[in-house]
Structure 1
Amino acid sequence: MFHVTLWLEDGRKLDLEDVKILQLGMGTSGRAEPPQAFEQLPEDFCSLGQATSYYEALQAAGSTVATDYLRRMRDISASPAIDERFSPEPGYATSLFRFPAAHQAYVLGRELFSGTEPDLAEGQLSFSYQPHVNNDIVSFNFGAHDPLPTRLIAVIGYNGVGKTRLLANLAMVAAADDHELSTPEFEQYGAFDGDRPKLGAVIAVSYSAFDDFPVPGQGAFEASEAALEQARDRTGQTSARRYTYIGLRRIGVVNSTAATELKSLSDIVQDFHVARELASTKLREGQLRLILEPIFDEPSFAMVGEMPEVDSKRDSWDDAFTRLSAGHKIVLNIVVQLCARLERRTLVLIDEPEMHLHPPLVAALLKSIGAGLKLFDSFGIVATHSPVVVQEIPGRNVLVLRRHGRWLRVEAPEIETFGENVSLLTTEIFNLDNSDRDFQGVLRALAATHSLERIEALFGGRISSQGRAIIRSEKRGLEQLGDADA
């Protein structure tokens, strides 16, 4: 694996990230040894970028730069002749294409630089996942129903039903290579039912202090590989695997065992700066501006003052961060991280985005995430307890998890969720019935011992219309009971 940085004539730095180089005759366990310096790779070498962003960045740099670079690197996606010559090599499949993201990079490289037609419909992705034993198969169907926001699927259910575990295990399976999926120790994470989805990357987002998302490089993955990759990227991304964890845990590998601790706010700010610089070196400033618009337009952001331009100096952003709440910092970090890390056809798994956030900011965050998913033809699954989140997602994209003993069931909501009243969603989707509401018991007890006027006075004359109706109903019932007793 090699890391590539291009310096363009105008002085800009272009970070292409990872490329793999294959040498004729190297077999399945050998290592390519290209010259330390070269104008063009020798004829017994070829290369392949390991992420779709590799080819997107080259396209953004211009056709002259891209064509010349790919010719010198003997890129197999840009040259069918080179591709055909090296495809019989054992290392072609085991090295160049070890991780699923490399397949998507190859497909995009061919589309952009060899003129082949796209092999997948934009905006559409369907796959089925079988969690570990005693569970329903979960089908995820993202449809192209623009302008409806169908790139997001919501997973809801009671605490303890297994929403976070479903997302965490799905992340492991989606980021694994074919060999890892076939090993017995990997069975605990479940498996795809049928063909595995064609994904460019996997991103897990969780800002819970109690999340226990497993991360590639730990457990079923080799710690030695994780140590190598995480040393290169301290923000949590395992480069070859195209897996990124965005959250509160600081992830590292100590003595070949997984070790984690929680990040401080200064760590989150540093994550933001690293991601903003990465977005810049991928020539993504334009996309970042578009993705940031919904959250910068949100009223609570407006109250803290004008935000710096995307390409402003770090000092300007540091000054802005001093005015932001912890929730604002988290939202800004999520959005910028996604813009920097998204590849074409990324699967983003988001655990309870409403945590730490006021409802309007939750809605703005979802809008920003949706904009990013659309820009990069990607898809997201969000586990949530929030009717505000569900209100932003069509009912066909909402999965209700219910546990019957040890068996996990998946059901569809009985009503359309998109744009529905939050109170109705709370009742119908999240199953909050009258018996669960403590305020009703308090009001009924007051109605038994106080007059309506006295109860009104307790609330300063501002009792809700629903509260007043409950009191009157209770008093009528008590009167009828008294009449019956008489």
Structure 2
Amino acid sequence: MKVVYVGRDESARRKWVSRNDDILLLLYDRWDDYGFKTRFPTFCRVDGEELELGAIRILFQDNSSSHQHLSQLRKDNWDGVFPIDRENYISVPEDVTFYEQLQGATSDEETLAIAEHLRDASLFVFEREDQEAIKLTDTDGFRNSLQRERGSQKSFADVWKVLSGSALGVSDLTFDFRDVLGDLSTLTLNFDSQSILPHDINVLIGPNGVGKSWLLKQLVRAWLLPPKQADELDGAGFKEKPNLSQLVTVSYSPFERFPVDADDEPALDQRLQDKDVYRFFGFRGRPAPEKGKKPRKTRHSLAVPRINAATSLMSCLTDDLRFSGMKQWANKLDTLHRVLGKAMTFDAAALLLKPEAPIADIIIEDPLDDLQVIELDRNYDNPGMYLPISNHDGVLNIDLLKSHVDYEAGVTFFDGDEPVSLSSGQRLFLYIVINVIGVIRRNSLVIVDEPELFLHPTLEIDFVTMLKKVLRTYGSKAVLATHSPVTVREVPSSCVHVLGISDDELAITSPPFETFGGDVQRIASYVFGDRAVSKPHESWLRELLEEHGSAEEVIALLDEEINEEIIIQLHAMDNGKWF
């Protein structure tokens, strides 16, 4: 496969495309990273099929505008084909999937050759230890352009592993933050453990007011702001660059104030190209901008979770189409069925189509010749035509489908031709799972703030169980901020971080006993103090004892409306042995 720079030269682009060879073209982009113009969108074709690889940044020694430099080389009779002799340059793709997709579409050997032609920084620094490449990584151009965005940082850290066939993973994360008392504190999230116990999830727990959500908001800001703006964080930040591809935040608290997207971070002095490097799900959202217009204002609405879920289900479909050729790709729609199928019975997750939707044009190929849609009449809450997404066998016109989905209707689950009835809590629970699966990348960090808000204890456990399955499938990790001992019981004590204020200082400790599968009352007692496990009925019993004088009198009074535990408790109280 040839790697060719064509820039803005449309005639050169047409010439190379017309050859019908496997080709990777580097196109023009005016994007400016603090004075450095290094970004190249790409066009790639393998075996007649186009690959959506994304962009790549290329930095040349002593040059701030790579496009100008390459255009000058072409004027000097360079044919545009990489590698370029007698030039020192390095490149970093915006996402590690750049090379993973090439591996799936070509071969490991061909992909390695492409990385060599482009002098991939990860390969030439960590694997080849090329001194000229290493020098370029110690420049402002590398720091402020090639490493400005989180996806590029992940690529620099991991592409050499992809090319050598090594496994990718998330390491422990150590984060400095300003606590609620204004002091700098440190939290280490323990993910990289050799223990057989699951370390996919870390939990922050503690009383109200100790700053759990405040800590997570600082972590989000540190993720969004580039190293050049570290001063905006007042000392907060990661000890080392986090080996993550994405941050996903979920919070349905009515009081949360997480950024809804990268554009919602006021201190960010320049927009990010990779909008999916941070995703937020809650009751706030930003309507899709009109083409060519500035981002619209955020809004708070009960419709936002429905819209997000429908959009995320579409993302499952489009990601499966885009990345299915990758060797390590886990089909998202299959994952959705496998994970949610443990909690409920359903055949399909479907989207409501707008009344004018041209169904016959949306479904390009239908092997069963029945258009595979479900129609609900006016006897149902949301009548109309529903297209099953999670198990559709046809070939779909994705662009046409996207424009004809009624996103505000959310996602409807069907058992046969009947919609599955769900409570509001169940629906929100399912939406969270769909959203996470829809946007997750490999090696993501998922933040969930107070997952117990709308979930009863059984759904809490189901949620943690499902989250573990999703995280394991995509090599990702999660942090949960909670007040729930039920959640804590599902993770090892080394992954439990108890926040508390003592002597005007914030203390972060782990329980001195194993919490995984532990006793909920013991966990609550350690986290919140003995009062957390006391029960209001005890005060009522003590009042009865004071009024009637003895345990026997109270027991006789209650007669059959009493159980054995209360009888034991009354006798213990009467004898001064209940504390």
TM-score, shorter chain, exceeding 0.5: yes
Corresponding residue of 2:310? 270
- Offset, 1:394: 0.6
* Residue 574 of structure 2 is aligned to residue 439 of structure 1: no
Tell me the SS of whatever aligns to 1:197.
coil
1:186 to 210, 225, 233: 233
- Mean Cα displacement is larger for which, 20-29 or 444-453? 20-29
Greater relative contact order, per chain length (Cα 8 Å cut-off, separation 6+):
1
Corresponding residue of 1:202? 247
* Mapping for residues 169-180 of structure 1, pairs under 5 Å: 169-180=218-229
CA distance in 1, matches of 2:104, 2:430: 25
**Alpha-carbon displacement from aligned partner over 1:238-267 (angstroms, at most 9, x marks no partner):** 24xx22223322047997896442351431
The one-letter code of the counterpart of 1:310 is S
Corresponding residue of 1:282? 323
Tell me the SS of whatever aligns to 2:99.
helix
- Offset, 1:341: 3.5
Corresponding residue of 2:93? 49
CA distance in 2, matches of 1:96, 1:397: 34
The one-letter code of the counterpart of 1:131 is R
* Residue 183 of structure 2 is aligned to residue 134 of structure 1: yes
- Offset, 1:425: 2.3
* Mapping for residues 341-352 of structure 1, pairs under 5 Å: 341-352=439-450
**Alpha-carbon displacement from aligned partner over 1:344-370 (angstroms, at most 9, x marks no partner):** 433322212222123233223222322
The one-letter code of the counterpart of 2:308 is I
Size of the alignment, in residue pairs? 449
2:421 to 301, 323, 340: 323
* Residue 158 of structure 2 is aligned to residue 108 of structure 1: yes
> Judging changes above 3 Å, is the alpha-carbon distance between structure 1 residues 421 and 199 closer, same or farther for their aligned structure 2 residues?
same
Tell me the SS of whatever aligns to 1:136.
strand
The one-letter code of the counterpart of 2:338 is E
- Offset, 1:383: 0.8
- Offset, 1:178: 1.1
> Judging changes above 3 Å, is the alpha-carbon distance between structure 1 residues 3 and 342 closer, same or farther for their aligned structure 2 residues?
farther
Tell whether the 8 Å contact from 1:20 to 1:49 is kept in structure 2 after alignment: yes
Corresponding residue of 1:407? 505
CA distance in 2, matches of 1:319, 1:7: 37
Corresponding residue of 2:398? none
Tell whether the 8 Å contact from 1:123 to 1:151 is kept in structure 2 after alignment: no
Q: If each structure's helix is expressed as a fraction of its own residues, which one has the higher value?
A: 1
**Alpha-carbon displacement from aligned partner over 1:3-42 (angstroms, at most 9, x marks no partner):** 668677697x85444443556765179889889xx99679
CA distance in 2, matches of 1:369, 1:32: 48
1:361 to 459, 464, 480: 459
Tell whether the 8 Å contact from 1:206 to 1:350 is kept in structure 2 after alignment: yes
**Alpha-carbon displacement from aligned partner over 1:123-162 (angstroms, at most 9, x marks no partner):** 6424242435324322333232353111221110001211
CA distance in 2, matches of 1:206, 1:66: 44
* Mapping for residues 451-470 of structure 1, pairs under 5 Å: 451-457=554-560, 461=561, 463-470=562-569
> Judging changes above 3 Å, is the alpha-carbon distance between structure 1 residues 348 and 66 closer, same or farther for their aligned structure 2 residues?
farther
1:97 to 130, 144, 147: 147
What are structure 1's unaligned runs of at least 5 residues? 230-236, 479-486
Corresponding residue of 2:354? none
Tell me the SS of whatever aligns to 1:355.
helix
The one-letter code of the counterpart of 1:452 is I
Tell me the SS of whatever aligns to 1:443.
helix
The one-letter code of the counterpart of 2:208 is N
- Offset, 1:171: 1.9
- Offset, 1:70: 4.2
CA distance in 1, matches of 2:555, 2:69: 84
What are structure 2's unaligned runs of at least 5 residues? 1-38, 350-388, 394-400
- Offset, 1:85: 6.8
Tell whether the 8 Å contact from 1:28 to 1:95 is kept in structure 2 after alignment: no
* Residue 433 of structure 2 is aligned to residue 335 of structure 1: yes
Tell whether the 8 Å contact from 2:58 to 2:90 is kept in structure 1 after alignment: yes
- Offset, 1:201: 2.4
Tell me the SS of whatever aligns to 1:388.
helix
- Mean Cα displacement is larger for which, 71-80 or 350-359? 71-80
Tell whether the 8 Å contact from 2:203 to 2:495 is kept in structure 1 after alignment: yes
* Residue 449 of structure 2 is aligned to residue 375 of structure 1: no
* Residue 392 of structure 2 is aligned to residue 312 of structure 1: yes
> Judging changes above 3 Å, is the alpha-carbon distance between structure 1 residues 64 and 396 closer, same or farther for their aligned structure 2 residues?
closer
CA distance in 1, matches of 2:263, 2:161: 32
CA distance in 2, matches of 1:327, 1:69: 52
Tell whether the 8 Å contact from 2:460 to 2:486 is kept in structure 1 after alignment: yes
User: Superposition RMSD on alpha carbons, in Å?
Assistant: 4.3
Tell whether the 8 Å contact from 1:206 to 1:351 is kept in structure 2 after alignment: yes
Tell me the SS of whatever aligns to 2:100.
helix
- Offset, 1:96: 2.0
* Residue 211 of structure 2 is aligned to residue 162 of structure 1: yes
